Amino acid sequence: MAHKTLTPLLEEAQKIAGPHQGQFRDSIVTGIYRTAEQIAGDVVSHTSTKRQDLDRQIDNIITSPVWGFPVMFGVLAVVFWVTIAGANVPSGILATGLFWIEARLTDLFMALNTPGWLHGFLVLGVYRSLAWVISVMLPPMAIFFPLFTLLEDLGYLPRVAFNLDHFFHKAGAHGKQALTMSMGFGCNAAGIIACRIIESPRERLIATLTNNFVPCNGRFPTLIALVSIFIAGSVSLSLSSAVATLAVAGLVVFGIAVTLSISWLLSKTILRGEPSSFTLELPPYRKPLVGQVLVRSVLDRTIFVLSRAIVIAAPAGGLIWILANTTVGDASVLSILAGWLDPLARFMGLDGFILLAFILGLPANEIVLPILIMSYVCGGAMTELASLTDLRHLLVDQHGWTWLTALCTMVFSLCHWPCGTTLFTIQREQHNWRWTLLAAMIPTTVGVIICMLINNLVRAIGLV
Amino acid sequence: MSDTITLNCLGNGSIALVKEVVAEGLTRRRLLDLGLVPGTKVEVIRRSPVGDPIAFNIRGAVIALRREVAGKVLVSPWG
């Protein structure tokens, strides 16, 4: 009722204000700023401009036409290199320790005379996949995440957005998409939530639909492990971590290129429109609280990985063991499923087990590689996998992987459906199952097409 | 009176006074909220490696604007 009587009044007010409405707004803002300026002038005193000058000198280098992009690539490479070189040793120690415990558990089950299937399900299924997730995934995450948090705290990320904005502009996307992508390195679900900082719905959708092309913390260790096994394995030891670093950095740059192309395609087709205006603050550099960042993010990551391992990897490990040990006719359910997927997977340069691992890894990307190893190991005789050399032996000698298989697996890891948590987050943010579906379809389509191209081109040329 | 040009035409290092914001709607409000009201002193700090966006010193904060947005701010060169 109230609004009926109000409407004519409002209309009249609007008629009177009409052409001057903008001026009111302007004079209010001007007034506020004048007052603020006065107050600030009275109470704030600047003693020196040294800090500001230093900031500008730093910016002179890291946003310069000559050094801007090399510095960006260099920082990325250093972060990867530290992660790759640093994760190796703790990974090995964790694996040795956890598999020693597995052996003791087996002894215990033997001593208690438990039935074979119970030992298989609990130790070879549940416990082993836990051990795998922790030893392969935890060290890279615990190193990469704090490093990235340090960069964030320093104030470097807005400079990256500043450097890259032109390309996002060209792609019809928002400059802050560089920031949401950076968040995606930590976790794509977090990246999706970060898309809230983009005001225009069109550009927020573009950023949301393409966030998955940035490898999250759950996929990084997979990429790092495969790169270390294949690319670094084929050069001399002293060069290997440098080569692995370049390969991972190359993959990330490839992911960024795909992000930009798909953003461009989206803004030319289903999400047509002009890029909206945006302002980006380049905040002063701050000295990060190194100790605090290290302790907090290492602890946070450890707890995060451990909880994911227990909630998702453990049940998945049990399921895989059941699938691998339930036989229909002569073959296990796992190999039957893999067999169905095999023709398509082979055409993409993968094999049925790899594709199946990606599908079963839907709940969390962390478990894709462990699932794959589990399904390879369950059928075979191999029980000890304490190092990357053992893993190389399993993949190359027992399952016929070539560098092409590894490359296609890495590309598919970079470009396939987002994990369950991310899809759930997209649904919650967008409230529209069509966008959620599209968020899964776009990367999958891109991944399938690129893998098919790579596989068939390489084979046609005869490189493998 | 000095000439009126748009903010994006200024070279790095130059300083200007805001005369008017000619943008409309959300962009206008955003620019005003940043403190780009008439009379404000703005310094051009740098351009991104590919020339766009441009970073300005607006009331002590470093803010980057895309070229077409900066083109909506009329200024007169200062000093």
Question: How many domains are there within chain B?
Answer: 1
Of the candidates A129, A105, A82, the one whose C-alpha atom is nearest the C-alpha of residue A312 is A129
CB-nearest to B66 from A25, A169, A282 is A169
Q: How far is A277 from chain B (nearest CA, A)?
A: 6
Residue B68 pLDDT exceeds 80: yes
CB-nearest to A277 from B52, B62, B66 is B66
Residue A16 pLDDT exceeds 80: no
With contacts defined as CB-CB under 8 Å, which chain A residues touch B13?
A: none
The residue-averaged pLDDT of B57-77 equals: 92
CB-nearest to B62 from A22, A277, A282 is A282
Residue A455 pLDDT exceeds 90: yes
- Which position has the token pair 């993959």? A251
With contacts defined as CB-CB under 8 Å, which chain B residues touch A163?
A: 48-49
pLDDT in tens, A96-154: 899 899 989 999 999 999 898 898 889 888 898 888 888 888 888 888 888 888 888 89
- According to the model, what pLDDT value does residue A195 have? 93
Q: How far is B38 from chain A (nearest CA, A)?
A: 8
Tell me the HSE value of A323 on the side-chain side, using a 13 A CA sphere.
23
Higher pLDDT, B79 or A156: A156
- According to the model, what pLDDT value does residue A4 have? 64
Q: How far is B17 from chain A (nearest CA, A)?
A: 14
With contacts defined as CB-CB under 8 Å, which chain B residues touch A28?
A: none
Q: How far is A133 from chain B (nearest CA, A)?
A: 41
With contacts defined as CB-CB under 8 Å, which chain B residues touch A59?
A: 45-46, 55
With contacts defined as CB-CB under 8 Å, which chain B residues touch A280?
A: 53, 63-64
Asked whether A337 and A356 are in contact (CB, 8 A), the reply is yes
Q: Do A63 and B46 touch (CB under 8 A)?
A: yes
Residue A381 pLDDT exceeds 50: no
pLDDT in tens, A386-397: 677 788 888 888
Nearest CA in chain B to A61: B49
Q: Please tell me if residue B40 touches chain A, with a CB cutoff of 8 Å.
A: yes
Q: In this predicted structure, which of A14-18, A35-39, A63-67, A122-126 has the lowest mean pLDDT?
A: A14-18
Tell me what percent of the residues of chain A surpass a pLDDT of 90. 37
Q: How far is B5 from chain A (nearest CA, A)?
A: 20
- Which position has the token pair 């052996």? A103
SS3 letters across chain A: CHHHHHHHHHHHHHHHHHHHHHHHHHHHHHHHHHHHHHHHHHHCCCCCCHHHHHHHHHHHHHCCCCCHHHHHHHHHHHHHHHHHHHHHHHHHHHHHHHHHHHHHHHHHHHHCCCCHHHHHHHHHHHHHHHHHHHHHHHHHHHHHHHHHHHHHHHCHHHHHHHHHHHHHHHCCCCCCHHHHHHHHHHCHHHHHHHHHHCCCHHHHHHHHHHHHHCCCCCCHHHHHHHHHHHCHHHCCHHHHHHHHHHHHHHHHHHHHHHHHHHHHHHHHCCCCCCCCCCEEECCCCCCCCHHHHHHHHHHHHHHHHHHHHHHHHHHHHHHHHHHHHCEECCEEHHHHHHHHHHHHHHHCCCCHHHHHHHHHCCCCHHHHHHHHHHHHHHHCCCCCCCCHHHHHHHHHHHHCCCHHHHHHHHHHHHCCCCCHHHHHHHHHHHCCHHHHHHHHHHHHHHHHHHHHHHHHHHHHHCCC
Most confident of A13-22, A139-148, A222-231, B30-39: B30-39
Residue A382 pLDDT exceeds 50: no
- According to the model, what pLDDT value does residue A298 have? 82
Q: Do B48 and A280 touch (CB under 8 A)?
A: no
- According to the model, what pLDDT value does residue A323 have? 87
**Domain residues for B50?**
5-77
Nearest CA in chain B to A279: B65
- According to the model, what pLDDT value does residue A20 have? 65
Q: In terms of C-beta distances under 8 Å and separation of at least 24 residues, what long-range contacts does A71-78 make, across chains too?
A: A72/A160, A72/A163, A73/A249, A73/A253, A75/A151, A75/A156, A76/A249, A76/A252, A77/A245, A77/A246, A77/A249
Higher pLDDT, A254 or A381: A254
Nearest CA in chain B to A158: B64
Give the tokens for residue A295: 């302790």
Task: Quickly state the pLDDT bin for A444 (edges 50, 70, 90).
Answer: very high
Q: Do B55 and A279 touch (CB under 8 A)?
A: no
Asked whether A439 and A209 are in contact (CB, 8 A), the reply is yes
CA distance B60 to A44: 12
Q: Please tell me if residue B51 touches chain A, with a CB cutoff of 8 Å.
A: yes
- According to the model, what pLDDT value does residue B54 have? 94
Q: Please tell me if residue B64 touches chain A, with a CB cutoff of 8 Å.
A: yes
Residue A227 pLDDT exceeds 60: yes
Residue A22 pLDDT exceeds 70: no
CB-nearest to A29 from B32, B51, B52 is B32
CB-nearest to B48 from A22, A63, A283 is A63
CA distance A420 to A365: 9
Q: Do A282 and B64 touch (CB under 8 A)?
A: yes
Count of A-B CB contacts under 8 Å: 85
Give residues with Cβ within 8 angstroms of A19, minimum separation 6.
none
Q: Which residues of A touch B (CB under 8 A)?
A: 22, 25-26, 29-30, 33, 55-56, 59-60, 63-65, 68-69, 162-163, 165-167, 169, 175, 199, 275-284
The residue-averaged pLDDT of A360-371 equals: 87
Instruction: Give the DSSP H/E element, type plus range, for residue B18.
Output: strand B15-21
Give the tokens for residue A277: 């205006």
CA distance A392 to A409: 14
* Every domain of chain A and the residues it spans: 62-276+290-461
pLDDT in tens, A307-343: 877 888 888 888 888 888 888 888 888 889 999 999 9
Residue type, A112: L
pLDDT in tens, A38-59: 999 899 887 777 878 889 999 9
Asked whether A405 and A351 are in contact (CB, 8 A), the reply is yes
Q: Do A64 and B50 touch (CB under 8 A)?
A: no
CATH number of the domain within which B34 lies: 2.30.30.90
